[in-house]
Structure 1
Amino acid sequence: MKPKRKTFDFILMLPPLLLAGFGIVMVYSASMVTSYLEGEPAYELMLKQAMWFVIGLAGFLFACFFNYKFYHKLTKWIVLLLIISLFAVLLFGATVNNAKSWIYIGSFSIQPSEFVKIGIIIYLASVYTKKQEQEYIGDFFKGVLPPLIITSLLVGLVVLQPDIGTGAIIFAIACSVIFSSGIKFRHLFVLISIGFTVLIALGIHMLTDEKISRFTGAYQPFADPDHGGYQLIQSYIAIATGGISGSGIGQGIQKLGYLTQAESDFIMAVIAEELGLFGVLFVVVNIAIIVLRGLFIAKQCENRFGALIAIGISSMFAIQSIINLGAISGLLPITGVPLPFVSYGGTSLVVSLFSVGILNNIARHVNYNRNLKELTTEEEKQPSANPFKTKNKRKIAQSTRRINTKKARP
């Protein structure tokens, strides 16, 4: 009797697909008026998001069936492609919202820094799995420091765009994987201290009036309601007027030119206004299910490489969601971080779906191994179905004992 094939984790599959479909609807609601005023069809951004969803769904299905262990062998090529793409952005990229983060291929735009998030997870998981096998993980100079050179290069190239928010997220994701790899706490403390010092120094060096206004606007929005605090105040109004059930899909007011970037970074404010507390809970609960399920899979996975990838992906979704929700509520500065699966943005949606596909592939292997163990245990407990085989085994055992007894006599 063979164990069941690698089964899908439906608890993990349903939430990202629900969020992505819900995001397409909310992108249409948040952008239809501004798109029309700009001379484009009201459904323009919705169609683009739907197109990226189809591409992301193909990536999701591919990642579900593609054995995650093979990424271990592709690590060098993944890192090389990431470095080349980030250098290409600095040389040939287009500037959007004061950041040179995009590469245009015809009418399509790609943000390579989004791919760095999943790429850095695979790279660090691969490297630190080898360090654990070689027992270098406790040595700072052999086990911890070498991978940080590549990590620092990738983060540095993102910060130079300049995109400090995405760079900080990549650094935080890297810290979560490194911490879970089993390094010593004091080594992690040194790593975090150095990383934050460098990020703060770069941030101060690249400070502009706009970036300063983001910090002051986050914590003192009413001190400058027409400039630095304007966006957050509009977000407050959207959240406050939504109440419990909201005003209804398409009936929001703040998206009508008051709240900028309503379809991307501040889409949760539109959800709060139009669907109220119920809409916000729908998004938060589904993201929480993905994160917690990913951590559960990491705990069940006996393969170090798979466990570290699962932790990294779960941390990626958790960190992005916390920063996005913190920005719209005034708990954190506005950094331009999209909400996973929901915000408008093709590259972000594709990377999110592909990442959760990898997570599901790890879950399939975990389920297969569990089924195999359960089947083996059941076969060991059950007596042999053929009584003649059992009788013959008993006779062979008795004969073996007689022979051993004769040999033992002097």
Structure 2
Amino acid sequence: MKQKTKTFDFLLMISPLLLAGFGVVMVYSASMVTSVIVREDPAYSLALRQAMYLLIGLAFFLFASYFKYTLYLKLTKWIVLLMFISLIWVELFGDTLNNAKSWVAIGPFSVQPAEFVKIGLIIYLAAIYTKKLNYIDDFFKAVIPPLIITSALTALIIKQPDVGTAAIVFAIACTVIFSSGIKFKHLSLLILTGLIVLSAVGFHMASDERISRFTGAYHPFEDIAGDGYQLIQSYIAIGTGGLSGVGIGQGIQKLGYLTQAESDFIMAVIAEELGLFGVLFVLVNLSIIVIRGLFIAKKCENPFGTLLAIGISSMVGIQAVVNLGAISGLLPITGVPLPFVSAGGSSLVMLLFSVGILNNIARHVNYQRFNEETTETEETKLEDTRATGRLRRNYSS
């Protein structure tokens, strides 16, 4: 029992669960008024749904923590097939919400398959580049084939359209590919090509609403009541909070001023109600997950585990940067949720499942280290015993 306990990475267990539980509380605070007035639902309706997704995510987290991560290597083909089927299913039978056909109804739940494509693609790229490490310098043989799969998945996500998620998927893919040992000139060519394609697609799909996201992000005060309204309300919420905030549940901006307060802009609500202390609580726990994930990647001797840990850590970090960049005006508003905290069942379940995989890698790394330490201790004790025996024989003689 002691040996099993030592293999757990408690920081990687506690931090995501703290964030997810904190998220349920903040979703309730951010949505309780609009739930009653706008949706005509009970004040706790969105928070209750988030809590249900948390329980589901916890089950996925525990499963992934105990399911040996190397077995995903054997499931790679099925994972790729499932990703394509889910995205095509969305295109054919999906539901439209916020001008994007990204959702599929499964009973009482709505699922966003693009969220699960993130972790599916990480598993696929980690597996395929592990197999290609011996000839990773061959751009056309090692790099191009996986990129075809990645590009096809990204294109299906853009088609919804969900350019924000597509950009994150592209960034995660570049991180995993770079970590596999690809030449820098090949990576530069890949990034340049991807940016050109994404820019061309974005220009082709440009609409007044999407263009307004850029003008609202970088020139919000030129149109206070229009394009810049949302960001300005976010600034007011962040500025009002100060050091300790106005008190949980006491925020003003969520009362119809700041739209999507429980999802994309939940950090603005946290800043207003809990101040700098609340913001630091979220940032510290997110940083712990990312840094511990990269530390595990460094310690893991299995190339697949290393790439998998890097991919999951980068996913959490990139998504957090994109969300925080949007609420602060550094990046355009893309509709990307804050990891573990924002309302959104698909994102929460996917993230808890992903961190469960990260915990499983950590368990195997810690198990190996624990066994090595135990072996060294036993060898030292044996050598001490032999030395003591020799001293006794010499003394007797």
User: CA separation in 2, counterparts of 1:261 and 1:167?
Assistant: 21
Summarize the alignment of residues 136-151 of structure 1 with structure 2, pairs less than 5 Å apart: 136-151=135-150
Identity of aligned residues (%): 71
**Number of the residue aligned with 2:250:** 251
Q: Is the 8 A contact 1:266 1:328 kept in 2?
A: yes
Summarize the alignment of residues 340-351 of structure 1 with structure 2, pairs less than 5 Å apart: 340-351=339-350
Distance 1:386 1:274, change over 3 A: closer
AA of the residue aligned to 2:32: M
> What are the Cα deviations for residues 297-327 of structure 1, in whole angstroms up to 9, with x where unaligned?
0000000000100000000000000000000
**Number of the residue aligned with 1:282:** 281
**Number of the residue aligned with 2:380:** 381
**Number of the residue aligned with 2:111:** 110
Summarize the alignment of residues 126-145 of structure 1 with structure 2, pairs less than 5 Å apart: 126-132=127-133, 135-145=134-144
Q: Is the 8 A contact 2:103 2:112 kept in 1?
A: yes
Matched, 1:9 2:5: no
> What are the Cα deviations for residues 197-230 of structure 1, in whole angstroms up to 9, with x where unaligned?
1111000000000000000000000111112111
Instruction: Answer with 1 or 2: which has the greater Rg.
Output: 1
User: CA separation in 1, counterparts of 2:319 and 2:179?
Assistant: 19
AA of the residue aligned to 1:36: V
User: CA separation in 1, counterparts of 2:264 and 2:28?
Assistant: 14
AA of the residue aligned to 1:123: Y
**Number of the residue aligned with 1:205:** 204
User: CA separation in 2, counterparts of 1:22 and 1:211?
Assistant: 31
Partner of 2:132, secondary structure, is helix
Aligned residues: 387
**Number of the residue aligned with 1:29:** 29
AA of the residue aligned to 2:356: G
After TM superposition, give the deviation of residue 76 of structure 1 in Å: 0.5
AA of the residue aligned to 1:41: P
> What are the Cα deviations for residues 149-174 of structure 1, in whole angstroms up to 9, with x where unaligned?
00001111001100000000000000
> What are the Cα deviations for residues 234-258 of structure 1, in whole angstroms up to 9, with x where unaligned?
1011011111111001100000001
**Number of the residue aligned with 2:366:** 367
User: CA separation in 1, counterparts of 2:21 and 2:2?
Assistant: 34
User: CA separation in 2, counterparts of 1:123 and 1:13?
Assistant: 24
After TM superposition, give the deviation of residue 106 of structure 1 in Å: 2.8
User: CA separation in 1, counterparts of 2:287 and 2:131?
Assistant: 31
User: CA separation in 1, counterparts of 2:315 and 2:63?
Assistant: 20
Distance 1:3 1:276, change over 3 A: closer
After TM superposition, give the deviation of residue 379 of structure 1 in Å: 3.0
Summarize the alignment of residues 312-327 of structure 1 with structure 2, pairs less than 5 Å apart: 312-327=311-326
**Number of the residue aligned with 1:357:** 356
Q: Is the 8 A contact 1:223 1:229 kept in 2?
A: yes
What's the TM-score, normalizing by structure 2? 0.95
Q: Is the 8 A contact 1:68 1:362 kept in 2?
A: yes
Gapped runs of 5+ residues in structure 2? 391-397
After TM superposition, give the deviation of residue 385 of structure 1 in Å: 8.3
Q: Is the 8 A contact 2:7 2:370 kept in 1?
A: no
AA of the residue aligned to 1:94: D
Matched, 1:186 2:185: yes
User: CA separation in 1, counterparts of 2:247 and 2:132?
Assistant: 53
Partner of 2:110, secondary structure, is strand
Q: Is the 8 A contact 1:3 1:375 kept in 2?
A: no
After TM superposition, give the deviation of residue 386 of structure 1 in Å: 7.8
Q: Is the 8 A contact 1:3 1:372 kept in 2?
A: no
Q: Write out the 4+ residue segments of structure 1 that deviate beyond 4 Å after TM superposition.
A: 384-387
User: CA separation in 2, counterparts of 1:120 and 1:227?
Assistant: 37
Partner of 2:3, secondary structure, is coil
User: CA separation in 2, counterparts of 1:282 and 1:385?
Assistant: 48
User: CA separation in 2, counterparts of 1:26 and 1:372?
Assistant: 42
After TM superposition, give the deviation of residue 112 of structure 1 in Å: 0.2
